[in-house]
A and B are shown apart, each in its own frame.
Chain A
Amino acid sequence: MSATVKPVNQKAWFLILPVLICVAFSAIMPLMTVVNYSVQDIISPTQKVFVGTEWFAAVMRDEELHGALLRQLMFSFSVLVVELPLGIMLALSMPAEGWKSSAVLVIVSLSLLIPWNVVGTIWQIFGRADIGLMGAALKGLGIDYSYTGNPVHAWLTVLLMDVWHWTPLIGLLGYAGLRSIPDAYYQAASIDGASKAAVFWYVQLPKMRGVLMIGVLLRFMDSFMIYTEPFVLTGGGPGNSTTFLSQFLTQKAVGQFDLGPAAAFSLIYFLIILLLCFILYNWMQRVGTQEKEGSHE
């Protein structure tokens, strides 16, 4: 056998067959089913009409959907704006070593272990003005708080619930990033006379960039797909003030059984998430790394 020629064995392709089958059944075929629905009007199991892009056009012009999309964008944006700084602060204030750090790690991750619908239930009770701790406390302070009656209160409660549930994720990721910074960086910064703020800005934050980027993407995707918690807490109301995209979709697909528009919208929804993640990722990749031309000329 010659050592210089790599042996070629086309049978090796069969080795990826299991993966191919798994992916086909778990992702490609369900997705194609949705594509199939999105271009047909299915009147009954035996009666269907090909409608082309009609559903897409209809969905895009749907006022209700515009409202849901706008609420969704507002919500996801607020989630990031609140959870990112809060998570970083949490990471910075966590003890670095010893039994305290282990204890804090466990306590901080507790909320991450609670199932979504349980979180919704917890907050539903927590916010009730008659028996809930928060609701009753706010009432005692003279605030007419009601997450079922007041759209602003409902919206804030959903946001607060998400912050409570998911800020620890950012905190844990940030903590991991902080622990990976070698001591020499802090020593050098101290020698260079850097203030605490400068150490944060020039040492800690840049070193946390990678993990925070993952955190932002996870939180963005998750919050953009939020369903269970507001569904349990407010059911999308009052009115449709907390009806976000996935709930809107469910109403269409399950509630009204409009499979065509629902499928078309599913695809649009998927593309929106993909596009926004792509933009977000590329933007964050570039932040703080581009050449600063002429700043010292």
Chain B
Amino acid sequence: MARIDLDLAHSYVKNPRQDNDYALLPLKMTFEEGGAYALLGPSGCGKTTLLNIMSGLVTPSQGTVLFDGRDVTGDTPQQRNIAQVFQFPVIYDTMTVAENLAFPLRNRKVPEAQIKKRVGEIAEMLEMSGQLNQIASNLAADAKQKISLGRGLVRPDVSAVLFDEPLTVIDPHLKWQLRRKLKQIHHELKLTLIYVTHDQVEALTFAQQVVVMTRGRAVQMGSAADLFERPSHTFVGHFIGSPGMNFLAGRVDGDGFHVDGLTLPLLPGRVLPTGEIKLGIRPEYASLVAADTEGALPMTVSMVQDVGTHIMLSSRLNGHLLKARLPADAAQLSPGDTVWMKVMNEHSCFYQNEEIVP
């Protein structure tokens, strides 16, 4: 196990000139020993590149990777003693399930008795004990992926185990089960786990700390609550949550926040720089208030969706769209109605140039 410090940038192009040439823009990040992390972002955001840099499959074009303070930038995956599980199952066709699981240990000349014990434990954990003597190539895709997971977890002394969207090929029911299993394994083995995914539910339920990435940039690292309550970048607000955060573009001066000729006074004690600013509010925190309330916005209802447990209300104010999550017993509304929404409260966040204003 190891603490991983990254201070690097990576480009697949030889002489990167602009930001677009970089697969990963310069970033600085620390993964603590024994933590469960997730790298979350849309496809092509650089999360797999970052993972491959940590495992040593890709050497960063600039900067360093430190394991426990030791520079391992030029080391192979083997020298780094890292385990990685890939998106699609990789199994050794000619071997049995047991031989597949034992392979990483055999290559490292672990004594046979110890291998047998460890393979037994891992098979038990993955509920594959009954299939140990079957040839792996004859199994179904999810069983094969379980073997891949098992090979990732079989070495007890690894620096970290990296997962690259390992549950893509697994069907939803088993996905949930395996994710829980991974969490449990994390508890039992105290391994450093880093998990790449584009699924926020997967990331938020699995990891203690989530790194949100977009276009080669790591925009925020934080717990699920941090990402939800105080997204440090409008992308995080937009990407996390379903639906994402509402943003109202406006202007701040001495009187308060101005949007479409309306003025919302700031909360007492809240100081903001004057100028163009976006107000961000989660649909969960926008509330319905009585007509003509001070600091509320008159919105026109555009859509009402009854989701059963709650009502999702979409409303417009000129060009601005505001989604709100209302209790299931909220007043009967229909498109065209005017409602007054309060968006300025202690949960409101403010963004200048897409970055949060503290």
Mark A residues whose CB is within 8 Å of B. 182, 184-185, 187-188, 190-195, 198, 202-203, 206-207, 288-297
Cα of A190 to Cα of B81 in the assembled complex, Å:
10
6 A-B pairs with the lowest CB-CB distances in the bound complex, closest first: A193-B107, A188-B90, A192-B104, A206-B93, A288-B94, A296-B98
CA–CA, A23 and B84, complex, Å = 56
Residue of chain B at shortest CB distance from A188: B90
Contacts A193-B78, A194-B103, A202-B94: A293 and B86 contacting too (C-beta < 8 A)? no
Q: Report whether A192 and B151 are in contact in the complex, using a CB–CB cutoff of 8 Å.
A: yes
| Contacting residues, chain B, for A294 (C-beta < 8 A) | 133
* Cα A185 to Cα B151 with chains together (Å): 13
CA distance A247 to B82 in the complex (A): 61
Q: A192-B104, A194-B103, A202-B95 are in contact. Are A184 and B88 (CB under 8 A)?
A: yes
B132 touching A296, Cβ below 8 Å: yes
Question: Which chain A residues lie closer than 8 Å to B93 at the CB level?
Answer: 206-207, 288
Query: B133 and A187: CB pair below 8 A?
Result: no
Given A187-B57, A191-B55, A291-B135, decide whether A296 and B96 contact each other with a Cβ distance below 8 A: yes
**20 A-B contacts, Cβ less than 8 Å apart?**
A184-B87, A188-B86, A190-B77, A191-B77, A191-B78, A191-B84, A193-B107, A194-B107, A198-B107, A202-B92, A202-B95, A203-B92, A206-B92, A288-B94, A290-B135, A292-B133, A294-B133, A295-B96, A295-B98, A295-B133
A297 cross-chain contacts in B, Cβ below 8 A: 133
Given A192-B151, A296-B96, 13 extra CB contacts under 8 A: A188-B90, A190-B57, A190-B77, A191-B55, A192-B103, A194-B107, A206-B93, A288-B93, A291-B133, A291-B135, A295-B98, A295-B133, A296-B116
Give the nearest-CB partner of A205 in chain B: B94
Contact status A193-B96, CB under 8 Å: no
Q: Which residues of B contact A288 (CB under 8 A)?
A: 93-94
Q: Is B83 an interface residue (CB 8 A)?
A: yes
Measured between beta carbons, the chain B residues less than 8 angstroms from A206 are: 92-94
The answer, yes or no, to whether B134 is at the interface (CB within 8 Å) is yes
Asked if A193 meets B132 with Cβ closer than 8 Å, knowing A187-B84, A206-B94, the reply is: no
Whether A184 and B107, one on each chain, are in contact in the complex, defined by CB atoms closer than 8 angstroms, is: no
Judging by beta carbons under 8 Å apart, are B148 and A188 in contact?
A: yes
What residue in chain B is nearest A293 (Cβ atoms)? B133
| Chain B residues closer than 8 Å to A184, beta-carbon distance | 86-88, 90
Pairwise interchain contact A292-B135, C-beta atoms closer than 8 A: yes
Inter-chain contacts of A190 with B (CB < 8 A)? 57, 76-78
Shortest beta-carbon distance from A250 to chain B in Å: 44
Partner of B96, one of A182, A191, A292: A292
Assembled-state Cα–Cα distance A194/B90 (Å): 14
